[in-house]
Amino acid sequence: MSIKSSLRDTEQIKSCPKGSFIPYGRQYVDEEDIEAVAEVLRSNWITTGPKVSEFEQAVAGFVGAKEAVALSSGTAALHAAMYASGIGSGDEVILPPMTFAATANCVVFQGGTPVFTDVDSETLLIDPKKVEEKISQRTKAIIGVDYTGNPCDWESLRQIADRYKLTLIDDGCHALGAEYKGRKIGSLADMTVFSFHPVKHIATGEGGMVTTDNRAYGEKIKRFRNHGISTDVRHREKSGSWYYEMIDLGFNYRITDIQCALGLSQLKKLTGFLRRRKEIAGQYHEAFTGTQTVTPLAVTADAIHAYHLYVVRVRARNGMKRDKIFDKLRESGIGVNVHYIPIHLHPYYQQTFGCTHGLCPTAEAAYSEILSLPIYPKLNDVDVERVISEIFTILYHE
C-alpha cells in the first residue's frame, strides 16, 4: 500500500483494538524506507558517504535554504548552531522556557548563559515584546522555538535581532513543513535547526539538520561535526590525500548514510504526513473549540502549522485537574503526554543559574494545564474519535 492511499483512506489502516494503547506519536516506516536502508548497507559507504550530501541538498531545497548540514541529532544541530554563532563564556542567549531542555542546554555546552523570557498566553510561543526587555550588553543571540509546529512571529523577531545586531536562530525541530507568511520554516532565521527523531515529521532514527543562507556558518558546522577537522574521509579519498588539519575543537556529531537514506525516503512522504496531521488536528479542533474545559492553542497569523504536537489546555472540572485527567487517560489507553516542564523549573537550572518559580508566569500557568494528544500519520479516524470520546467521558461523566 502506498503512503498516499494509506493516508487518504484511513479505513485501510488497522484500528487499535478497544483498550489497546495509543501513543502520542510514532514513526511511519514502510517497505520503501526499509529497502532504501538495505541498499546503503549493500553499498561501499555506510557513513560519511554520498547519501549525507544528497539528504542535505534535498532538505535545503525543500525549505528554500542555500546550505544544509546534517548531524547526529537535533541536539547536536543546536549545539553546532551555538558554536557557529560564536557563543562563549559570558554570552547570553534569549530563549523561551516552553521547549525541550536541549534548547537551553546547547547554550550551556558553549559556556553561555540561557536567559528565559516568557511566552504568549494564546500560542505559548516566545513573546517578542518580552524579548526586548531581556536584552543586555551580553546578549549575543535569540532562539525562537516553533512550539508544536506553530511558527513564531519571525517578522518581529527579525526586526529585534537586526536592531541589536544579534544572531537569530530558529529551533524548528517541531516545524518541518510549516510556513510563515508564505516562506517555509528553515529559510527565515540566520540558522534553523531540525530534528529527525522518530516522533518528528520524518525519521532517521536519530538525526538533525541546520539550514542557513550563510556559507560561513555552514562551513563551521561541517568542521564542528567532525572533530573540528578541515576535511572528512570522503573528501580525502576523492582527492587522493591523507592529509588533514584539526582547526578547532569539535565533536563527533556525524550522521550515517544509513540514516540519510532513510531520511531521503521519508522526505518523499512528507507532504502526505503533513496532510494527515492537519486532518487529525482539524478533528480535534472541531471537537474541542467552544468547550470551557479543553482549549486548543491559537495558531500564529499568516502561518501554516506543521502539527508535530497537538496541545490543549485542560482546565479543572469538578476538582479534577490536569494530572488526574492525565492519569485517567493513560489508564484508558490514551497515550497523552506533557510538553513541557518549563526549562527554568528543572533542578539543574535552578541550582546552576538560580532560576525560580515566577520567572516566566505565563509558561508556568500553562504547564499546569497542558496535554499533548496523540497525533501521527498512522493514527486513524476511529482512534481519533476514541481519544475525543475518552476525554469527554472523563471530564463530563465521571
Residues 387, 24: contact at Cβ < 8 Å? no
Catalytic one of 200, 222, 269, 328: 200
Alpha helices, DSSP H only, in 85-170? Answer: 102-109, 128-134, 154-164
Residues 377, 277: contact at Cβ < 8 Å? yes
The C-alpha atoms of residue 106 and residue 286 are separated, in whole angstroms, by 38
Q: What angle do CA 126, 159, 75 make, to 5 degrees?
A: 45
Instruction: Confirm whether 200 is a catalytic residue.
Output: yes
DSSP state letter for 339: -
Alpha helices, DSSP H only, in the chain? Answer: 3-8, 31-41, 50-63, 74-84, 102-109, 128-134, 154-164, 215-224, 233-239, 257-267, 270-288, 322-331, 347-353, 361-367, 381-396
Omega within 30 of 0 (cis) for the link into 340 = yes
Residues 366, 118: contact at Cβ < 8 Å? no
Residues 143, 94: contact at Cβ < 8 Å? yes
Give the position of cell 592529509.
Answer: 243
The C-alpha atoms of residue 248 and residue 207 are separated, in whole angstroms, by 23
Q: Under 8 Å CB-to-CB from 346, ≥6 apart: which residues?
A: 101
Beta pairing class for 179-180 and 167-171: unpaired
- Catalytically active residues are 200
